[in-house]
């Protein structure tokens, strides 16, 4: 017999001069957990919340804010979110018929005016960047029907407006001036200086003002 049990329960291999592990040291294989049924492992509670956050629809005010950020990026000529830094949408708008360039960010196309090939390429890159941008804000493009911007210049300097429409048919337009774009101010009925209200419409309803 090549080996036997010693007092401490270990098997000594006289041939190889090695000591095998004792019975208490032998690792037993743990059975795999069930893949279904009551005892199956459940996702952590935070996983459900994270999934719901990714799939939620944006609030209308959030949608308008994101659209402003995208339009402001294009207006600034420094498109950090797309890696393009040599744009001048206002100069190109000045040379376009009507002095306006209008952009559909949701489709990555030009709606109005004449633009150079490089500017058209930048507009397309903004469209490709939208899914990741919305995901960082906990939403998606599923609930967005329109996301447009118009760029022009007047006595106030560079100007642009942003229009968005959500899945409920609520459509809003906000005007901005300067770089970076700031909401215009106006006097309310009491003579107080307030931000110019956002124009809000719904499908089949007249326009109204909102303090978004």
Residue of 122, 20, 113 whose CA lies nearest to 78: 122
Predicted confidence band at 40 (pLDDT cuts at 50, 70, 90)?
A: low
> pLDDT by residue (tens digit) across 80-120?
999 999 999 999 999 999 999 999 999 999 999 999 999 99
Q: How many angstroms separate the CA atoms of 126 and 163, rounded?
A: 16
- Beta-carbon contacts of residue 54 (< 8 Å; ≥ 6 apart): 135, 138, 140
pTM: 0.69
Q: Give per-residue pLDDT as tens, 165-206.
A: 999 999 999 999 999 999 888 777 877 878 888 888 887 665
Strand partners, 6: none
């Amino acid at each position: 017999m090549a080996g036997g049990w010693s007092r401490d329960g270990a098997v000594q291999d006289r041939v190889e001069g090695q000591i095998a592990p004792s019975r208490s040291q032998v690792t037993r294989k743990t059975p795999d957990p069930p893949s279904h049924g009551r005892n199956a492992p459940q996702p952590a509670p935070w996983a459900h919340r994270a999934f719901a956050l990714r799939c939620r629809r944006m609030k209308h005010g959030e949608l308008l804010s994101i659209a402003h950020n995208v339009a402001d990026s294009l207006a600034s000529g420094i498109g950090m979110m797309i890696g393009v830094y040599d744009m001048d949408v206002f100069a190109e708008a000045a040379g376009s018929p009507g002095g306006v360039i209008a952009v559909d960010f949701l489709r990555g196309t030009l709606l109005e005016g004449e633009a150079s090939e490089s500017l058209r390429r930048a507009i397309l890159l903004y469209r490709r960047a939208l899914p990741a941008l919305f995901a960082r804000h906990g939403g998606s493009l599923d609930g967005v029907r329109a996301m447009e911007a118009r760029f022009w210049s007047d006595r106030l300097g560079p100007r642009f407006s942003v229009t968005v429409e959500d899945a409920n048919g609520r459509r809003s337009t906000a005007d901005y001036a300067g770089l970076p774009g700031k909401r215009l101010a106006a006097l309310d009925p009491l003579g107080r200086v307030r931000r110019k209200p956002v124009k809000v419409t719904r499908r089949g309803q007249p326009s109204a003002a909102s303090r978004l």
